[in-house]
Amino acid sequence: MIEIPSDCRLVFCVGVGGVGKTTFSAALGLREALRGRSVLVLTADPARRLADALGVDRLVDVPSDVPLPDGSSCGELHAAMLETKASADEIIRRAASNADRAQRVLDNRIYQAFSSTLARSHAYAAMERVHETTHDDRYDLIVVDTPPAQSSIEILDAPARLVSFLDQRVVRWFLRASDEPSRLAGGTIAQRLLKAVAGDSLVAALTEFLTEMAFLRKGFAERASALHQLMQSEKTRFVLVSSAEPVGIEAARSVAAEVADRGFELAHVVFNRAFVPEVDVSTDRTDTYPPSLVRLAPKLRQMRAWLAAEQAWKTSSMRALCQELDVPTWALPEGNRPLGSTSALAAWIDRVRAIKPTG
């Protein structure tokens, strides 16, 4: 069975889009809640897949209580769907030294566009939310469902990217040109050109936004460092979710390499939709068919042979990757999508099978 150590505080479910990360994140959170822990499942995916998997009407930025299956009263399960603008606003309020400074940022038109629309602002808001919830005593474990992205674990880089952006020479140069126009003629000329193209008000808003963000840089850097240390510690686990198809296997290798490149370690690999439990594809059994199906028997046997060959290939590929990555590897069955309730989720993850390495 897939279990998370009791001293683990944070789990990231990573992988490319469309492999069932959200459903697995919900099931993993539920399993840990049924073991007696207080669990928050946080999705950074703007779709409503987590609500569908848990069988609740909707999720919002504020964590909601999710009822456990009937007869279960061990732990607690909570879930939230990150709303970028609300989370970003709260980040600014916490980071600012006073309410006036925070309000200047919140009212800034550049910030409003940045916090609501840019993909990387969504990733940064998600990671700030992760940092916040790991310091919340109400939760023993936080399970993070990472969003699909061009880089499947781009979200993990978001805090460092923001600090790096504020350290860019062009940002510092632009701000110094505003403060010391007589000394930085090049910057002044550039600002004049920008004003001619975009207008005085937009340049003023951009300058104000960069000034305030630069002022908040120290707090951002401290949280980015603390979160990175947490992600490298024994209190964090990374679980790679993949399909068992050829493209999925290659994508899983790529994601595993990205995780390793960042100094993190995979704890588990999970192959979703890896088998159909209701279908026995063994080839050493003899079937009898009712008279109405006798004429179809050759085709039915051929279909079974095809399914058996496909399952053997999947199993061989999963075992090879298991040996290559040297981490516990698991196969989950096909299930009704969405599963739609915590009872269905619990039954689904209980059918997990361990994958042994080749050799």
Res. 104 pLDDT band, cuts 50 70 90: confident
Whether residue 287 lies inside any domain: the answer is: yes
Per-residue pLDDT at 39 exceeds 90: yes
Rounded Cα distance between 331 and 354, Å, is 6
**Whether pTM exceeds 0.85:** no
Burial 9-20 (b: 16+ CB within 10 A, else e): bbbbbbbbeebb
- The two structure tokens encoding residue 119: 């993909």
pLDDT at 64 over 70: yes
Residue 168: pLDDT above 90? no
**When comparing pLDDT for 188 and 226, which is higher?**
226
Domain annotation covers residue 267: yes
| Domain contains 303 | yes
Between CA 182 and CA 184 the distance in angstroms is 6
Task: Give me the domain span that covers residue 291.
Answer: 10-99+123-154+220-355
Under a CB-based contact definition with an 8 Å cutoff, are residues 300 and 289 in contact?
A: yes
Q: Tokens 């061009």 label which residue?
A: 150
Per residue in 177-190, pLDDT tens?
A: 555 544 444 445 45
* pLDDT cut 70: percent of the chain above it: 72
> pLDDT value at position 35?
92
Tell me the Ramachandran region of residue 328: left when phi exceeds 0, alpha when psi lies from -120 to 50, beta otherwise: beta
Q: Which residue has the higher pLDDT, 145 or 93?
A: 145
Kindly report the CA angle at 321 between 144 and 305, in degrees rounded to 5? 110
Q: How confident is the model at residue 197, as a pLDDT?
A: 43
| 86: pLDDT strictly greater than 80 | no
What's the CATH code of the domain at 133?
A: 3.40.50.300
Indicate the pLDDT class of residue 119, thresholds 50, 70 and 90: very low
Most confident of 9-23, 136-150, 162-176, 210-224: 9-23
How many domains would you assign to the chain? 1
Q: How far apart are CA 240 and CA 33, in angstroms?
A: 21
- Residue 236: φ, ψ to 5°: -125, 140
Residue 174 has pLDDT above 60, yes or no: no
- Spell out the SS3 assignment of the chain: CCCCCCCCCEEEEECCCCCCHHHHHHHHHHHHHHCCCEEEEEECCCCCHHHHHHCCCCCCCCCEEECCCCCCCCCEEEEEECCHHHHHHHHHHHHCCCHHHHHHHHHCHHHHHHHHHCHHHHHHHHHHHHHHHCCCCCCCEEEEECCCCCCCCHHHHHHHHHHHHHCCHHHHHHHHHHHCCCCCHHHHHHHHHHHHHHCHHHHHHHHHHHHHHHHCHHHHHHHHHHHHHHHCCCCEEEEEEEECCHHHHHHHHHHHHHHHHCCCCEEEEEEEEEECCCCCCCCCCCCCCCHHHHHHHHHHHHHHHHHHHHHHHHHHHHHHHHHHHCCCEEEEECCCCCCCCHHHHHHHHCCCEEECCCC
- Residue 65 reports pLDDT greater than 90: yes
Establish if 42 belongs to a structural domain: yes
Residue 213: the pLDDT is: 65
Q: Which residues pair with 41 in a beta bridge?
A: 79, 143
- Is 174 a member of any domain? no
Whether 169 maps to a domain, the answer reads no
Task: Classify residue 5: in a domain, yes or no.
Answer: no
Q: Is residue 47 part of a domain?
A: yes
Average pLDDT across the chain, whole number: 78
Quick one: pLDDT at residue 228? 86
d(CA 134, CA 82) in angstroms, rounded, equals: 15
* Of 179 and 32, more confident: 32
Residue 332 has what pLDDT?
A: 93
Between 220 and 346, where is the model more confident?
346
Six token digits for residue 18: 């469309």
Q: Nearest Cα to 331, choosing from 255, 252, 273, 267?
A: 273
Predicted pLDDT of residue 181? 47
Taking the CA atoms of the chain, what radius of gyration do you get in angstroms? 25
How many CB atoms are located within 10 Å of the residue 161 CB? 15
